[in-house]
Amino acid sequence: MLDSVGLLTASPWIYAVVALSVLLDVFLPVLPSGVLVITAATAAAAGSTAVGSASVAAAAGQVPHEVPSLVALLLCATTASVLGDLVAYRVARRGGARLDRAIARSRRLTTAQERLGTALSRGGGLLVVIARFAPAGRSVVSLGAGAAHRKVKEFLPWSALAGMAWAGYSVGLGYFGGQWLGATWVALVVSLIALFGAGTLAAYVMRRPAPGPA
């Protein structure tokens, strides 16, 4: 399995795989987009084509050059995140009465839609950024913004900030985890725990009731 991961991170296709995973996980939150980003960043930190193969490269006296670029990973993940948000937003905005009824049957979607509308109308969209880290939170907020017919100029800047924050956090976890702990499963697991920890905290914040008017 490590060899398969190494082959993927050593190939330029890693960017396409990461972009597709990040783009689609707004509709399929089970896709391991965060895992892919962290794994690629860990490989980049190790200066190796595979997580766990650094010792082999060292024994051969060579360091492979085919490693993911951190800048490219950041741009790829951020761009795909924003595009995915916009696709979900457009789908929900044009969904019509059928989608409105589906959202009305979901307390989670209805609550998120109300909170998001209040936040955007007050000139702030921190909820969009927080939701990007929560499991399925990105889907809830993007669909809620579209169904509520929020203006693109209200939603897009916060979506871009959310994408940059999530991509930066994920790449940072993989890179610094690889630097400090080496390109091993230990570094990968620790980084993933930190990612899921942020998601748990974000989900808790999203579940809290919105504060009433002062």
State pLDDT tens for residues 191-204. Answer: 889 999 998 888 78
Residue 110 CA to residue 127 CA, distance in Å, equals 14
Record the tokens describing residue 116, joined without a space: 């998001």
pLDDT tens digits, 64-102 = 446 778 899 999 999 999 999 999 999 888 876 666 666
Rounded alpha-carbon distances, angstroms, from residue 8 to 17, 57, 60, 151? 9, 17, 21, 39
Backbone angles phi, psi at 39, to 5 degrees: -60, -45
Which residues of the chain are modeled with pLDDT < 50? 1-4, 48-65, 123, 213-214
